[in-house]
Amino acid sequence: MPINWPKSGAHRGFAMSNPDAVCNGCTVCSMRCTDGIKISEFEYTRIVEELRMQDQRLVRRVLHQQKEQAWGEETYLACLFQDISTHLCLIYAARPLVCRLFGRVKHLPCPAGKVAADLDAGHVIEAYYAQPLQTFQQWMMHFGHFSFAALLGDDADQDFIEL
């Protein structure tokens, strides 16, 4: 049964642009949402704007979660913005290009087989990698935000995650 993904309010980031999309309610690919992907400055700016528009209790809850996850006998770090309890994306509306291409291109196929990986994005990917890319945390430091409290304009919150 599909999840009814809200389009605004406290769970804005979890909204999909098309509620009837084949991916709606499916979280099979969420285990591939790992920490450390490189993004552009534009994507960083969009993500920060998205985080600032959301209910800050939700943002804090997701950012405070333990991101180290088991994968068989190994562990991996889940994406900073993945809600570990629901496997949904906090920044879905502003997710980076690599996340948008997941399941759509041959080298990033849909693990559930629900989406045809037939998009030819070679020229898009080539142009994307020609620009400066850094992790979200590296962009934060680049812009002088050394904690999520500072990034979100909540300097009074001493219990927030520091880099």
Which residue, 109, 100, 90, is CA-closest to 52? 90
Give pLDDT tens digits for 106-151.
878 888 888 787 878 888 888 999 999 999 999 999 999 888 888 8
SS3 call for 54: coil
Confidence bin at 11 (pLDDT 50/70/90): very low
SS3 call for 147: strand
Domain parsing of the chain, residue ranges: 9-16+28-94+134-150
Q: Write out the DSSP string of 39-84.
A: B-HHHHHHHHHHHHHS-HHHHHHHHHS--EEEETTEEEEBPTTEET
Burial class of residue 9 in the structure, from the number of CB atoms within 10 Å of its CB (0-12 exposed, 13-18 middle, 19+ buried): exposed
Global pTM? 0.78
